Structure 1
Amino acid sequence: MIRTGIFSGSFNPIHIGHLALANWLCEYEELDEIWFLITPQNPLKKRSELMEDSLRLEMAEAATRDYPAFLASDFEFHLPRPTYTIDTLRALQKKHPDRSFHFIVGADNWVNIHQWKEYEALLSNFPILIYPRLGYEVVIPDCYPHIKAVDAPLLEISSTFIRESFQKGKDVRFFLPEAVRPYFI
């Protein structure tokens, strides 16, 4: 069975922190591949803050094109909106029964997982890899042996930082994958 990591997010824009983390997860958590699922509308974020869906997908495709274990995906574009993680994972499981899907989430989102739609079903039915975020402690109840806090490098780079810096005229080229730099320079 193919072990597929699901890295779902706005990727507004995708940056080197996303890619470095995904690379680490493939190499050290034995994932065969990682799918970057571009989320059209996170129920917890304002739509006005997002670049166009197609532009975010295009940048993710450009950033992941040369690494065979990475795939940028518009899978959530074709689901009812707003999209919810549990619905996405169920739809992926149904469409791709040959894969074991491992959901990737940051410690900052993990602390709020109880606010997510059908969070108990998510925790009970899918392997979850939780990556570290500065200032967030990860506590996993013992009843979920398939949920793991990973010891990935702490990379505190955010898409918000990149967008705000760019708007201020800052040169952010080294925070972005080379293929994404033309969108910002």
Structure 2
Amino acid sequence: MKVGLYFGTFNPIHTGHLIIANHMAEFTDLDQVWLVVTPHNPLKKKSTLLEDHHRLEMVFLATETYDSLKPTDIEFRLPQPNYTVHTLAHLQEKFPSYEFSLIMGEDNLNSLHKWKNYDVILENHDIYVYPRINNENANEELINNHKIHKIDAPVIEISSTFIRNSIRDGKEVRPLLPQKVWEYIDHNLFYKK
């Protein structure tokens, strides 16, 4: 089974995440896409994150009707901070018959060389890259690597930061969120202040 790993804090998960994940599951050779809810990205401030279980619940609510999309909390049980190379090694050990690939935006590909043991990741895993609008600084060496697969996916420019700020400012954001995710956020009064 070929599994694409789509990492994110999903704070909150929004329709843009679902569009990309579903596109990867339906229009590439991936059998499933696992949405890996990260407890703490070493490059992000932890203080802005909702508690792990709330973000996992929102991913579950967003994906429960999709056969090929699966939420996972695999990184919750790994040492902090999480590094993708460690998560991949753990998953490969746990699911030896699965082939794991990464899913990332072009912007993340540009900083891949800064990741811990990125060369080990590239050696052992394919990377499926979806387009971003502002990507002038493309790393040509990485883009031409045979492990990198550029996917002609929809360009989505919705961000969780924008959604959080909009909720805080009292703006209507329901079209940007799966219905059950919006209800969960609204019920719990998340991102209001």
**TM-score, normalised on structure 1?**
0.95
Tell me which residue corresponds to 2:116: 117
Amino acid at match of 1:128: I
Find the aligned partners of 2:28 and 2:45 in 1 and give their Cα distance. Answer: 33
**Matched residue, 1:73:** 72
Paired with 1:140 and 1:158, the residues of 2 have a C-alpha distance of: 28
User: How much does 1:100 deviate?
Assistant: 0.8
Equivalent residue for 2:57?
58
Aligned Cα root-mean-square deviation (Å) = 1.3
Q: Distance in 2 between matches of 1:177 and 1:73?
A: 18
- Equivalent AA in structure 1 for residue 30 of structure 2: L
Report what 2:161 is aligned to. Answer: 160
The aligned residue for residue 91 of structure 1 is 90
Structural mapping, 1:127-142, within 5 Å = 127-137=126-136, 138=138, 139-141=140-142
> Separation in 2 of the partners of 1:3 and 1:100?
5
**Residue 150 (structure 1) aligns with:** 151
**Offset, 1:143:** 7.0
CA pair 57-141 structure 1, distance change in 2 beyond 3 A? closer
Give CA-to-partner distance per residue, 1:91-143, whole Å, 9 cap, x none. Answer: 11110012111101111111111111001111111110111111115434477
- Whether the 8 Å CA contact 1:124–1:144 is kept in 2: the answer is no
Name structure 2 gaps, 5 residues minimum. Answer: 187-193
Alpha-carbon distance between aligned partners in 2 of 1:22 and 1:125, rounded to the nearest angstrom: 22
Report the CA distance between 1:178 and its aligned residue. 1.4
Deviations 1:138-161 (A, max 9, x none): 434477312111111101001001
Further displaced range: 131-140 or 50-59: 131-140
Structure 2 distance, partners of 1:5, 1:140, is: 22
Distance in 2 separating the partners of 1:140 and 1:166: 40
Amino acid at match of 2:151: V
Q: Is the 2:25–2:69 Cα contact (8 Å) retained in structure 1?
A: no
Give distance in 1, aligned partners of 2:89 and 2:61: 27
Between structures 1 and 2, the one with greater helix share: 2
Count of residue pairs the alignment pairs up: 184
Distance in 2 (CA, whole Å) between partners of 1:163 and 1:141 is: 33
Change (3 A) 1:47 1:7: same
